[in-house]
A and B are shown apart, each in its own frame.
Chain A
Amino acid sequence: MTRRILAIVAAVIVGCGVVALRPPSQLASIFAAPQAVPAAPTPVQVKLPLEDKSVRFAVIGDNGTGDTPQYEVAAQMEAFHKVIGFDFVTMMGDNIYGSHKPQDIERKFESPYKPLLDAGVKFYACLGNHDDTNETLYKNFNMNGQHYYSFKKGDVQFFVLDSNYMDAKQLDWIQNQLSGSTAKWKIAYFHHPLYSDGRFHGPDLDLRKQLMPIFEKYGMNVVMSGHDHVYERFKPEEGIYFFLVGNSGELRYHNLRQGSNIMAAGFDTDRTFMLVEISGDKLYFQTVSRTGQTVDSGVLQRQPKPPAPVQALQQVH
């Protein structure tokens, strides 16, 4: 475990950009000024390497308001998609706020993301506390009727969980899925964050208690969540990289706790979405605001595999 942590620390120091290395107190002041939507579109500034055969995707969370800022974030996603060509979008939940009538699905999902949907970009949703459980039946969310599910893209396996209802059956499912996974990268995402400096909600400690031992045991690489309406990247916790993207539609202005010792970077003065590119043992990320500014970027090194469980060793011998 010590070797794993040292590798991560080295990766963070070597890999992350200038913004990411600033302490949280400085980050808050950098991003304190409210941002106005520019009259002309900001030129797309890509900070990902765009390597051959890499896995590229976007991340959004707490997006389904149907209001103007959601549409503005979606327009930025479209602009970046034209350059980057990401294949899919992972959704951190609260996909549809408020009423769930058919016209709401149109206004809060189909319409803002129409250019991406028309371009064949797939959306993989998880359920937030504002979502209707029958969203699992909606084809464009790719949940196949399941509250929790898994899918693979290249070397990456995604584990999409329902943090609203983490019962024994789901916990068993996660363990079974992870124990059988041979994927190089394992990424879990779900709505409620295990770590958060958001003052409105904060971390779900009970969920953390149930999930962290499983994630540690089976070598989860990355965990992403939403719920708090901010963007936050964390220093690795137990060797796992954590992201919170909960401001792709909603926003809680200046809601990040100051002086946090777990935050690596944070942004709470406008909406964002995140872009991720995974190539070999590296995960590149770029977080973009509603106005097209890059508010965080960097590269993370894949962690060494955790030691094989004792039980497995006994089976070998």
Chain B
Amino acid sequence: MPMPRSLLSSSKESNEYMKLRQKALAGLAVPKNTDSPEKIAEFQKQLAGKIRDLRPQARQGDLFTPEVVGLFQRLVAMAMRGKDGALIRTSFQRAEPVESGHLEVNTAYPDGLPLQSMPPSLLLNLPRLPKELEYRFVGRELILRDTQANLIVDVIPDLRMPQRK
């Protein structure tokens, strides 16, 4: 098995996204500690717009390549069938599972839709990410979300949660 903790964060595709994101941020002032919700909303909108402009052809699988998807399926299956599987499953249920239609790459995470918390024991099994990105489950989909831009960067459409055997 490849180095799971670094596969996504050090991959060519991931690095390219982070470079592109840096480019999108250039010229944008991050509104740290502002008492203006308007400024935060405007920053989010502008950053998302610039990222979209810089990757207009973005599609599902750009970062979650088939190799990465295969790895994630194995990692999730291992976590769910391991000693913490029951805890992870319960944590999902108690955190208020989020359901939505299919989320498209390069679209905004829907305003008002809660963010499903990630069970720590599962998160600890997944490759680490740069702080600007996070994993989230929406139904059976695992999305990669740009937190400041509130943008769907990539999606694994059907990451199955195996039952404990």
Contacts and interface: CB of A to CB of B under 8 A. Distances in A.
A155 interface: no
B121 A209 contact: yes
Interface stretch (B58-66, B69-77, B86-94, B154-162): B86-94
Contacts, number: 113
Interface in B116-139: 116-124, 128, 131, 134
23 contacts: A98-B112, A101-B41, A105-B37, A129-B114, A133-B115, A133-B147, A134-B40, A137-B43, A138-B35, A140-B35, A144-B33, A165-B117, A165-B123, A168-B123, A169-B128, A191-B117, A205-B91, A206-B84, A206-B90, A206-B91, A206-B120, A206-B122, A207-B91
A201 B31 contact: no
Contacts of B37: 101-102, 105-106, 138
Contact of B119 (A98, A171, A206): A206
Nearest to B39: A137
A134 B45 CA distance: 12
A169 B134 CA distance: 13
Contact of B120 (A100, A101, A132, A210): A210
Contacts of A210: 120-121
Contact of A134 (B44, B117, B128): B44
Interface size classification for chain B: 35 or more
Most buried by A among B35, B38, B128: B35
Kindly list the 7 A-B residue pairs having the minimum CB-CB distance in the complex, ordered from nearest.
A206-B91, A102-B37, A105-B37, A166-B120, A206-B87, A164-B117, A139-B35
Given A105-B37, A138-B40, A206 B116 contact: no
A167 B123 contact: yes
Contact of A137 (B32, B114, B118): B32
A86 to B, nearest CB: 21
B94 A209 contact: no
Given A134-B40, A168-B128, A171-B120, A201 B32 contact: no
A99 B150 CA distance: 13
A207 B120 contact: yes
B123 A166 contact: yes
A191 B30 CA distance: 26
Contacts of A98: 112
Contacts of A169: 128, 131
A102 B38 contact: yes
A192 interface: yes
Contacts of A204: 91, 94-95, 117, 119
Interface string B1-44: 00000000000000000000000000000111111111011011
A99 B117 contact: no
B60 to A, nearest CB: 23
Given A129-B115, A137-B40, A138-B40, A209 B35 contact: no
A165 B112 contact: no
Interface in A157-173: 163-169, 171
Interface string A281-296: 0000000000000000
A122 interface: no
Interface of B: 30-38, 40-41, 43-44, 84, 87-88, 90-91, 94-96, 111-112, 114-124, 128, 131, 134, 147-148, 150
Interface of A: 98-102, 105-106, 129-134, 137-140, 144-145, 163-169, 171, 191-192, 201-207, 209-210
Nearest to A211: B120
B57 to A, nearest CB: 27
Given A137-B40, A164-B115, 6 more contacts: A101-B37, A134-B43, A144-B32, A165-B123, A165-B134, A207-B91
Contacts of B124: 167-168
Nearest to A109: B37
Given A129-B115, A167-B128, A205 B90 contact: yes
A171 B123 CA distance: 12
A137 B118 CA distance: 22
Given A98-B112, A204-B95, A137 B34 contact: yes
A209 B117 CA distance: 16
Contacts of A139: 33-35
Contacts of B121: 206, 209-210
A231 to B, nearest CB: 18
